[in-house]
Amino acid sequence: MNSLTVSLGVHSPLTPELRDRILETTRARMEEPAYRLLSPEHLRGLARLESRDDPIISVYLRLTPERRATGGWKSVLSSLAHRTLLKSDSAASDSIRRQLDRIETALNEQLPELGRSVVFLVCERLGIWRQITLPIALADRIHVGPRPYIRPLLRCWGEGDRNVVALLSQERSRFFVEHLGQVEEINLVKGQRIRGMLTDRVPRDRRDVLATQVLKDEARALAQMAEIIMRELETSYLLVAAPPDMRAAFMEHLPKAIVENVQEFAADIHASPHAIGEALGALREKLRRDREAAVLQELEEAAFGKVAIGVQETLDCLREGRVAALVVDDRFAAPGEQCAECKALFQEAPGDGCPVCKSRELQNVDDLVDAAAQRALDSAARVAFMRHPETQARLGKFAPMSALLRY
């Protein structure tokens, strides 16, 4: 999808019509089939999907340059499909085979041009067909179950993993979205040419005043654009590269909540997306580490009764809807059990039934972390994976799973 070009005038720098265009373009970008930008709302929607009669098939496939060039993805998909069908019961195997064949056909017809991984979440009976392309390589996997397998996607969405990038200048400004190291331009803004305005018709003692006013008007419009884009894309930070006078005027018109999440960096106004990504490398790593450290600090400073420590205690609080933020060591993986009736999760249920609702229908869960993350999303809780070695080492008594509680 091409970036939207916007021209700002002196008298009406950001009209309602122009705001609507920016809003519409930003929302449309979220739904691009070839390269969808993950958002918390997307993940919440995926977490709500459930099918008891016909399984939901989750396919993760790496699309490295080598696999693209040689068609190696076909043999990998075929091998994964064969192993999946061998483990499936006869009642479901026909449906699974049809959906896997449909996925292979879709990739044969049009292999995604962008990205290093492709994800399919499909269910024949419910008519679900979701295709997501990501700029990072995820492990190959096929998962079959009543709900989509979304843990790898949750790992792709962390605080600091998606940001708005603003390169600002008086006559030309550019907005980008930065997600998982991928930088994509979304808006190009053509500003007012000050040199063309300061003619001999303008008295000398008015030129500085006029130039300052034009700068402020343009900065106000750019701040409004940044606010719209950040709200719609649900981004964490606003990363700004600008001359000092433009930066100061821009910051003056940002809401306080955004100002607190502004980070500065250096880049040329004409820099390519690749060059911008390179310039952001160290800052991106710092922001991720700082965000994880901030979550840990919240755990450490939480009042008595406002934190759950340990896997089963956290799972119990999830069932009660008390979790505000689920915190997991990204290295942790374990099977578990889930009650088919009340959805309670257990590392290992005591006895031969659910201790909560007394149901005898307990189901095996391949990935307890994935199931817990889905429960967290169902209740609008945050999910924070500790991925940096420093924060993983600091987890201590909170490892491998803990939670900040609402009450």
Which residue is associated with the tokens 């343009």? 218
The confidence score (pLDDT) of residue 2 equals 65
Residue 41 lies in a domain: no
In terms of domains, do 280 and 390 share one? Answer: no
Q: Which residue has the higher pLDDT, 12 or 290?
A: 290
Tokens of 115: 């990205």
125 and 185 share a domain? no
Separation between Cα atoms, residue 379 and residue 320, nearest integer Å: 10
Confidence of residue 34 (pLDDT cuts 50, 70, 90): very low
> Which of 88, 117, 146 marks a domain boundary?
146
Q: Please give the average per-residue pLDDT across 35-52, as a whole number.
A: 74
pLDDT digits (tens, 9 = 90+) for 82-133: 999 998 887 788 889 999 999 999 999 988 877 789 999 999 888 999 888 8
Model pLDDT, residue 224: 92
**Which of 282 and 351 is assigned the larger pLDDT?**
282
219 and 240 in a single domain? The answer is yes
pLDDT confidence of residue 268: 95
Last residue of a domain, one of 288, 320, 352: 288
Inside any domain, residue 37: no
Distance between CA 134 and CA 156 in Å, rounded?
9
Q: What is the average pLDDT score of the chain? A: 86
Position 264 scores a pLDDT of 96
pLDDT tens per residue across span 177-189: 888 778 888 888 8
- The answer to whether position 377 is within a domain reads yes
- pLDDT at residue 210, as a whole number: 66
Q: Is there a contact between 253 and 220 (Cβ–Cβ < 8 Å)?
A: yes
pLDDT digits (tens, 9 = 90+) for 359-368: 999 988 888 9
Q: How many domains does the chain have?
A: 3
Say if residue 197 is in the same domain as residue 271.
Answer: yes
**CA separation for the pair 392, 159 (Å, rounded):** 16
Same-domain pairing of 81 and 221: no
Q: What is the pLDDT of residues 137-153, one digit of tens each?
A: 889 999 998 889 988 88
Select from 228, 104, 115, 101 the least CA-distant residue to 175.
228
| 176 and 140 inside one domain | no
Residues 250 and 282 grouped into a single domain? yes
- Counting residues of the chain whose pLDDT is more than 70, the rounded percentage is 89
The answer as to whether 297 is a domain residue is no
Q: How far apart are CA 353 and CA 361, in angstroms?
A: 7
Q: Look up residue 276 and give its two tokens.
A: 């911008």
CB 76, CB 61: distance < 8 Å: yes
Same domain? For 357 and 279 the reply is: no
DSSP class of residue 397 equals G
In which band, very low, low, confident or very high, does the pLDDT at 193 lie, cut at 50, 70 and 90? low
What order do you get walking across the sheet with 4-7 strand by strand? Answer: 4-7, 182-190, 172-179, 162-167, 237-241, 262-264
Q: Whole domain around residue 352: which residue ranges?
A: 302-405
Half-sphere exposure of 68 (CA within 13 A, CB side): 14
CATH at residue 342: 3.30.1330.30
- Kindly state the tokens that stand for 306: 């406002």
Instruction: Tell me: do 56 and 173 sit in the same domain.
Output: no
Q: Do 177 and 282 have their domain in common?
A: yes
pLDDT tens digit string along 340-363? 899 999 998 888 889 999 999 998
What CATH number has the domain bearing residue 213?
A: 3.30.420.60
Q: Which pLDDT band, with edges at 50, 70 and 90, does 26 fall under?
A: confident
Domain-embedded: residue 187: yes
Least confident of 37-46, 172-181, 391-400: 37-46
pLDDT of amino acid 35: 44
Tell whether 313 and 340 lie within a shared domain. Answer: yes
328/350 Cα distance (integer angstroms): 24
Contact status, residue 115 vs residue 135, Cβ threshold 8 Å:
yes
Range from 17-31, 190-204, 369-383 that averages highest in pLDDT: 369-383
Q: What percent of the chain has pLDDT over 90?
A: 50
Residues 139 and 163 reside in one and the same domain: no
pLDDT at 247: 96
Q: Among residues 225, 259, 288, which one ends one of the domains?
A: 288
Whether the pLDDT of residue 222 is over 80: the answer is yes
